[in-house]
Structure 1
Amino acid sequence: MAGKVVLTYFNGRGKMESIRWLLTVAGVEFDEVYLTTREQYLKLLSDGDLMFQQVPLVEIDGMKLIQSKAILNYIAEKYSLHGKDLKDRVAINMYSEGLMDLMEMIMMLAFAEDSKALENIQTKAKSRYLPVFEKALAGPKFLVGGKISCADVQLLECTLMLEEKFPAILADFRNIKSFQGRMSDIPAIKRFLQPGSKRKHQPDETYVKTIKAVFNLDIPSKK
């Protein structure tokens, strides 16, 4: 029998947070190993655990998986969160990749937050991304096939991230706001949203400094 899933990443959101969300919705317990030193990272490299010298790293079913999209797709397939057929899956993937593009912009704010970056995210969210999901949820309970998928989980994660930066951003997106409420009532998600869960807080200076130290990077501080 395979052991518990183990996640290796920083003690923060980043690209691992969507994986934490999806495992939670799937009902999968997991342990975490936090990278805090460059020596830990170099050992992972020397052990051959990081195919492209990158984290996140997820140990599951006897495998060591890297690349967040591949990891998310594996979990979604394994736990029936990826649609009923090929057409469902491609629709789910399109939604998911759009959400990942938007979330990556938000993630980068921790390294270079300024008024221009914030304005750009808000503008793109309201003009490019949110209208797509508002239209898709005009009637259906979920985005694809009438059943919860990884795209739904990522949409909830992403919109909560947006509201942290722009509290009123969903004022004109009633379908998405209703969707948020439905998703937040799912027992596993409700628990994940409570204090003390494995959900991570917004990135802070400690998170940024740790990443810089582990990867030996010279990332400019936030303005």
Structure 2
Amino acid sequence: VPVLSADTNEADDLIIDGIALGITERLLTRSGAKPGELVCVTGDLGRALAGYLVWKNKLDVSGRVKRRLYEKFLEPKARVLEGLALSKVASSAIDVSDGLAKELHLLAKMSGVGVEVYPDKLPVGEGVKKVAGLLGLDPIELVLASGEEFELVFTIKPELAKELGIEFSVIGRVVEGNGVYAIVDGKKRKIPPLGWEHLGNPKPITPDIK
């Protein structure tokens, strides 16, 4: 039976879930990205996973940093205004619920294109570098694998991006081909689909992009 939408996941507890249906003037899907377009994301990334690692490993971080990291879990913010703006001009979009790398792989696959990411352009959230340092990880790894972010990743023509009227970061570009790559010192390195794996084991958070 094809699954059209809703939350397909696994858990030990009974979960009552629901979906909402609506009508839109323009359908914004995951399959409209075109070569030459920008790859962008709202907000900052990495705090959700970094916060989880602080809790799991009982890391010693300051109260301010801990509050900023836990904010993603305790006070999630839906990007409604940004979504409305993107619905008019973006070519494709998806929310970061399972991990940035995984969402980019999904956009690339469904659009039949490749995606190039510039690691130095990724918006690393406050406290992420601190946590990465304590655990001996690259903060970019946390950003790529962090789920439950609920930021919006989207593709858009460069000339249209200037007229959006919302805050966002340009993190890469859409290219011909397939797959997701990091551009480091002019060289392409594959980025695996890091993030939460539904109905299976989570991917490790150690992409080889250095």
Return the TM-score normalized by structure 1. 0.28
More strand as a share of residues: 2
- Higher RCO (CA < 8 A, seq sep 6+): 2
Return the TM-score normalized by structure 2. 0.29
More helix as a share of residues: 1
